[in-house]
Structure 1
């Protein structure tokens, strides 16, 4: 399987504008830097290639237990601790049902809405529950508050049995949550110390919730393994992840400020959110970086399509498309033909959607918007695992081309600190 990011898929952009020789040399240097063994932030690059049978066996064992003893798994987390799992779960779960073949998995701790928390408590009152709290440190306010609530809920509902129904995914050695888990006797999965949150979906952070939800995590990881092998090449011509990174960088240097990730499948909406965090936190430093945003077509063509077509020339578009979606529906024939659509009778919605994608790409490119098209064969576990690794490898290279650290997020600490200061001031006033 090849991810197709080819010259024929780059619309409305003169590739001769790019100094490929310069980028080839630079990418090889940055590739060598990225692959040095002394990094403590790139474990995600190597883990798909390692023997993880023991870890996967334990994940499957716990997931099976949860599916037998619970109706719902509550995942407590924010940012990279929930976005990846929710993205894959939503992409592969049939519409209008809560799960694929496992039990229902829901998320909390990604906001501080009292209405959301109360609504979830009301929703689970007659259900059998497990909780998986995910945090490397345990000190992030949103999930810490949610865990306080649902830890108490589980203890009130289950008594001593709550200890077995609360599972902690946290740092292997340090942190507040690690200490809480050890003191309380909760079972623990480790977040590798050399993997940051937004790169962690292919670790127990994402794999346990996904296994509970009925996602085939072995196939997901096989897709990532294929990508890790394919994108290990240092030469730009042989590495499509690096080619995508260079295209983004070249567009950015020529004045484009925004990258719009778009797709024509509503199931990918949460995947867009994972992508936005990945690139936003990795690149947005030192007054640098593209602003990552997303749209779900054709829905959003009826809201921001006008701006994309004829608005300020600040953005380029990355159009993500899967050629095969497992479920489809045919347009029926109607003898009345009052809507004049019988010419589409017998064609499927997915076929029409694919044509809409091509028409939209052509219209946007003719309107002056560069369009990068990423196309994969099928929306399934294997191809999603492949795509996740593709984006992570491309993101790391993109940030290095900007000369920023792909793996830290110093700006995030600024708002956390300010919120804490204000909350403590309010307590003093009272």
Structure 2
């Protein structure tokens, strides 16, 4: 379900370079599988795939079915890994435009999944409350510690609003948090909120295949079993160090890092994959950016950003590598019509598909950027569907673990994130 083409990038290296670093990459791979590397206690994201919990998947599906039946809006409160994964999968797989209402009920066929608690904009929250007025609302609060400022502040605003409008407000609030402790855990106990546990040993950026991501994704009408088992299949495939695309990807990135490259761009030509880029950006930024090391990850969307950043990528400083995330097969192609004239100069495209034009834009961009001195490679998804997308998510998680070990950092902690919090809380006068 995942294919990795690094042939163009290899032309920027000596013939033996990749093979020379491969023993180190395989050693990092073994550290992951044998749980001997730094942060090995945070490998719960692999454990849940090695021992799938079908009863949990069924429970999430049942809860999601209730919400789909009752809610106009499903509001997810969370920041970082507590929302990026769910948003990425929903953007990739759910319809991009709202379905028409059902004539009998005049209600949407699926709830609108919205996100809050991922920034500190008071204006956003005020407009959100106004938008929610008169709608049936369910809220999912997601925070392992239960102390995340952005998320809990949004919940403090939303909770009294819900309680004033819905007699069953406690049933409409679902918390996803630590299984045994924390402020949000204690609030769920006190007020009787339904609760899903974030498994031990799973950090936020690795949590998309836990209830953190699976509940919102299921509410959006996406098949979470196919998503989950696509990741299981990829996890099994990547156990073997041979013919291992995640290992090759990590090794290639490491080679360019050691040669002084500073930035990796993840470029997509399908707008639906932009959310995967944002999720990838956190995954690699928090996992690698330590001890003065790591490639700075930036996600861009082509062909849109070719009209804004393309000039820099083509001729700017030669300190970046570029990874394309592409889809092999796309259903329901849109044919470009023959209008009977050439007033727009596009008659040469009549009868071809927009998807074909997009593919040629990728091929042309790949060649131009490589010719301009940017090492490029491509991660190919078989198709845009739950199974291949689950495989893609695991592919990147496995790769970043290897990559972190190659850099000799702990890929599962994020000590630098606490620095801004300390200063912010000091300025706010937090006791």
TM class by shorter chain equals over 0.9
The CA distance in 2 between the partners of 1:181 and 1:36, in whole Å, is 36
Paired residue for 2:146? 138
Aligned to 2:31: 33
For the pair 1:221 / 2:220, whether they are aligned, the reply is no
Within the candidate set 258, 265, 271, 1:260 is matched to 265
Distance in 2 of aligned mates of 1:280 and 1:59: 30
Shift in alpha-carbon separation, 1:297–1:46, aligned structure 2, 3 A: same
Q: Work out the CA distance in 2 between the residues paired with 1:169 and 1:409.
A: 21
The residue that corresponds to 2:70 in the other structure is 69
For residues 322-341 of structure 1, the aligned pairs below 5 Å read: 322-341=327-346
Q: 1:404 aligns with which of 405, 409, 416?
A: 409
Q: Aligned-pair distance for 1:11?
A: 6.1
CA RMSD, aligned part only? Answer: 1.8
Give the structure 2 partner of residue 315 of structure 1: 320
* 2:195 aligned with 1:176: no
Tell me whether 41-50 or 291-300 shows the greater mean CA deviation. 41-50
The CA deviation at 1:185 is 1.0
Moved more, 110-119 or 318-327: 318-327
Alpha-carbon distance in structure 2 between the residues aligned to 1:14 and 1:410: 34
Q: Do the aligned partners of residues 101 and 28 (structure 1) sit closer, same or farther apart at CA in structure 2, a change above 3 Å counting?
A: farther
Alignment match, 2:155: 147
Structure 2 unaligned spans of 5+: 101-107
Kindly state the Cα deviation for residue 341 of structure 1 after the two structures are TM-superposed.
1.0
Give the TM-score normalised by structure 2. Answer: 0.94
Q: CA deviation at 1:31?
A: 2.4
Q: Using the alignment, how far apart are the partners of 2:16 and 2:353 within structure 1?
A: 40
Residue by residue over 1:301-344, the C-alpha shift from the partner in whole angstroms, topping out at 9 and shown as x without a partner, is 00010000000111010011102233432111122211221111
Deviation at 1:101, TM superposition (A): 6.4
Q: Which moved more, 1:7-16 or 1:192-201?
A: 7-16
Moved over 6 A (4+): 98-101
> Secondary structure at 2:227's aligned position in 1?
helix
Partners of 2:70 and 2:263 in 1: how far apart?
A: 46
Q: Secondary structure of the equivalent of 1:359?
A: helix
CA contact (8 A) 1:262 1:294 kept: yes
Q: How many residues align?
A: 421
Q: Deviations over 1:189-236 (max 9, x none)?
A: 000011110000000000000000111101101210110011111x3x
Tell me the secondary structure at the aligned position of residue 54 of structure 1.
Answer: helix
- Say which SS state the counterpart of residue 399 (structure 1) adopts: helix
Look up the match of 1:5: 4
Question: Which secondary structure state, in structure 2, belongs to the residue aligned with residue 40 of structure 1?
Answer: helix
Equivalence map 1:290-369=2 (5 Å): 290-369=295-374
Pair 1:174–1:228, CA change in 2 (3 A) = same
Distance in 2, matches of 1:17 and 1:304, equals: 33
1:190 matched to 2:189 = no
TM-score (norm 1): 0.94
Structure 1's unaligned 5+ residue stretches are: none
CA distance in 2 between counterparts of 1:58 and 1:15 reads 52
Q: Distance in 1 between matches of 2:114 and 2:179?
A: 25
